[in-house]
Structure 1
Amino acid sequence: MKKKMVVVAALMAAGTANAQEVVKIGHAAAVTGPVAYFGKDTENGARMAIEALNARGVAIGGKKVTFQLMAEDDGGDPKQATSVAQKLVDAKINGMVGHETSGTTIPASKIYYNAGIPQISPSTTSPKYTQQGYNTTFRVVANDVQLGQALGRYATGTMKVRRVAVVDDRTAYGQGLVTEFSRSLQKQGGSVVAREFTHEKATDFSTIITRIRASKPDMVFFGGMSATAGPMLRQMKQLGMNVRMMGGDGICSDEIFKLSGGTMADGQVVCAEAGGVQGEAKAGMDKFRADYKKRFGIDVQINAPYAYDAVMTMAEAMVKAGSSAPAKYLPVLAKIQYKGVTGPIAFDQRGDVCDGTVTLYGFKGGKRSVITVTK
């Protein structure tokens, strides 16, 4: 009997030794609702990273680990985002990738900070996110200051725009982007001739379009998402207003053409993505896009490669720290230097990505194409 107990104990010990530690990476975005295609895009990017890490067989502190993605839907709603954040904290995630929008990421960030859990956003651009003084907040994309400056320079310098009507959707993202663009536009000698706002679930824009048309702008700048910009373009066409539109990464998807009902003309829309690669790095990004399409059967929208790099950067910090415990790898993450598919990743003292790039796009035949990559 004693011998049998010894054998059982030995088998249990062996099973415990062979059981791999599970490292939980949280992800949250809107995977339902009007901008679900953006949220699913980042979730897919994060999932690809998890699968790549597990296929590689990563060891942390000399022990093989298994990475697990814990994906949640925040609906693009700030209240839902904080609820999801608390759920993920309670599930004892080791790190967080997300959220998708500035309006969800900022309120959720306090919850991760209070729990001491590192958070890397693959898409949030509002400067406020990293200005809160939280040592747990990071991002792998450029912020609205960089986006606004690049768009303002291009509007006045290349497009020769001088009179601009600006519209925002009252979200943290939309208002922030419009503010930074307006500053850049005026610095370059342009002027804001009309200032309007709508909301992200609006469907009727006739009143604000009528007011904007009276100001005779060269262009409309929209701070918001393509789910709103597309119908706005369609109604602009119906009301005989055929001026150009410019915006940030929220409208920088082929979805905007579909949502405009096919009324968007070639060259009518210019947008900017917070990130981008060129030169030798382009081959790596092209491979990622091909692998993504093979895995999911659809094209990358915008931020999937940034979500992929966010997970990979976090995992690299854990490996270098020899621990997946947030308190132990957080200082390493803050000083990390990682070569990702989106380019080199390192963070400044606030958690913003260093030397963030911006990619400008135009559209032809309903498909976006690169105009230039800038800083």
Structure 2
Amino acid sequence: MKQKQLAAMMALAGLTAVVMTDATAQETIVRIGHSGPLSGAQAFSGKDNENGARLAIEELNAKGVTVGGKKIKLELVSEDDQGDPKAGVSVAQKLADGGVKYVVGPYNSGVAIPAARVYSNAGVVVASVASNPKLTQQGYKNLFRVNASDTQLGSKMALYAAKELKLKNVAVIDDRTAFGQGLAEEFKKQARASGMTVAGHEYTTDKSVDFTAILTRLKSKKVEAIFFGGYAPQGGPMARQIRQLGLNARLLGGDTICTAEMGKLGGDAVGANVLCSQGGALLDKAASGPAFKAKFKKRFNADPDVYAASYYDAANMFVQAMQQTNSIDAGKVGAAIAAGSYQGVAGTYAFDAKGDMKSSPVTIFTFKGGQPVAITSF
């Protein structure tokens, strides 16, 4: 068979044969896709996640990867899903049509939930940090959540508010995204179970910047804290407006406000008054956490944000499963991930029947000097 014909057939299978200089050795290219918001208000998170995967792929290629006695070269195929469900489904179809069989992302629950069907139909192995419980309740095989779910993030923030902060009267705001709604509902459920009164539940959008009317209503209810189910581009301005209105209430949230972007957008209105919950153990206390942070900083001239380590771990987890099965077949690799365990930087990845992590610690953070600072993990 001619070389061009062989290459065409392998490309259809998601692989590309590359002839080496000695004309006898070949290496197989395996593409790992990334779907995330690389433009718009959440681009800082999308790029950070992408860089986590990129660092893993660069390290693996530099070290040399062999699967079943054959050399493998990894390539990152990164696509901008804009944090938008329709765009995310289009990205999923593009990656699937291009023969990509491994994907890290999507980042947003509202994107991941509908895109999961496309990936499942194409036999793609997916590792996502999207936290809405509905993601894994859809029953798709080879879909793994490499992070705590909203159930864990929202409920543990509520437990901390009740037991440690001793709060009695709280309120909830959500941005009506799948992520924001899911997180807020889990907080509200646990808040009530823990004896707190939920004095109000307000709604905004993930494009809003003015929360004055909502916050004024909550001020009249004398709430001690507001839990925000949403993202830092809204959380930062919300913290400023809480201060401007003289509302004496803490601002609580999930992992998406546990970021330096929150401090940047909120300025001096973001400090000890803001607390957030993030899945995973503390990088500084994890065995390989400090080394990862140093490598990331050297490569990208920036500190890793919330989920860079999770994306780094996901790419490495894919490759470990390939080597365990001596195969790059997505079905075999997905089955190995489902049945096995991978020790990564951010935690131990072992999954239940739905694809959720069997154990995912949650860390509570506050802010100091515009940066998230860990308080405790549980």
Give the TM interval when normalised to the shorter protein.
over 0.9
Aligned residue among 81, 95, 99 for 1:92: 99
Does the alignment pair 1:269 with 2:274?
yes
List runs of 5+ in structure 1 lacking aligned partners: 1-11
Cα distance in 2, alignment partners of residues 299 and 256 from structure 1: 15
Equivalent in the alignment of 1:32: 39
Equivalent in the alignment of 1:189: 195
Does the alignment pair 1:200 with 2:200?
no
Shift of 1:17: 3.9
Aligned residue among 299, 305, 310 for 2:309: 305
Cα pair 1:231 1:261 within 8 Å, conserved? no
Does the alignment pair 1:333 with 2:337?
yes
Which of structures 1 and 2 has the bigger CA Rg? 1
Shift of 1:151: 0.7
Cα distance in 1, alignment partners of residues 347 and 152 from structure 2: 17
Cα distance in 1, alignment partners of residues 199 and 20 from structure 2: 73
Equivalent in the alignment of 2:67: 60
Cα distance in 2, alignment partners of residues 257 and 142 from structure 1: 23
SS of the aligned residue for 2:223 comes to: coil
Shift of 1:197: 0.6
Shift of 1:147: 1.1
Does the alignment pair 1:289 with 2:320?
no
Cα pair 1:32 1:73 within 8 Å, conserved? yes
Cα distance in 1, alignment partners of residues 79 and 38 from structure 2: 8
Cα distance in 2, alignment partners of residues 346 and 200 from structure 1: 32
Shift of 1:13: 11
Within-5 A mapping of 1:160-175: 160-175=166-181
SS of the aligned residue for 1:282 comes to: coil
Cα pair 2:26 2:71 within 8 Å, conserved? no
SS of the aligned residue for 2:317 comes to: helix
Cα distance in 2, alignment partners of residues 41 and 13 from structure 1: 33
Shift of 1:358: 0.6
| TM-aligned CA distance change 1:337 to 1:267, over 3 Å | same
Cα distance in 1, alignment partners of residues 323 and 356 from structure 2: 22
Does the alignment pair 1:321 with 2:328?
no
Equivalent in the alignment of 1:103: 110
Shift of 1:351: 0.5
Shift of 1:283: 3.5
* Percent of aligned positions that are identical: 43
List runs of 5+ in structure 2 lacking aligned partners: 1-18
Aligned residue among 228, 232, 243 for 2:238: 232
Shift of 1:263: 2.4
Does the alignment pair 1:19 with 2:31?
no
SS of the aligned residue for 1:209 comes to: helix
SS of the aligned residue for 2:269 comes to: coil
SS of the aligned residue for 2:53 comes to: helix
Equivalent in the alignment of 1:130: 136
Equivalent in the alignment of 2:9: none
Cα distance in 2, alignment partners of residues 80 and 17 from structure 1: 42
Shift of 1:261: 3.8
Cα pair 2:168 2:224 within 8 Å, conserved? yes
Equivalent in the alignment of 2:183: 177
Does the alignment pair 1:258 with 2:264?
yes
SS of the aligned residue for 2:167 comes to: coil
**Could you tell me the TM-score, scaled by structure 1's length?**
0.93
SS of the aligned residue for 2:277 comes to: strand
Shift of 1:104: 0.9
Cα distance in 2, alignment partners of residues 226 and 14 from structure 1: 49
Q: Which letter maps to 2:273?
A: Q
Cα pair 2:276 2:366 within 8 Å, conserved? yes
Cα pair 2:147 2:280 within 8 Å, conserved? yes
| TM-aligned CA distance change 1:13 to 1:41, over 3 Å | closer
Cα distance in 1, alignment partners of residues 23 and 360 from structure 2: 44
Does the alignment pair 1:369 with 2:373?
yes
SS of the aligned residue for 1:348 comes to: coil
SS of the aligned residue for 1:166 comes to: strand
Shift of 1:362: 0.9
Equivalent in the alignment of 2:252: 246
Cα distance in 1, alignment partners of residues 238 and 296 from structure 2: 31
State the aligned residue count: 360
Q: Which letter maps to 2:123?
A: G
Aligned residue among 83, 89, 95 for 2:90: 83
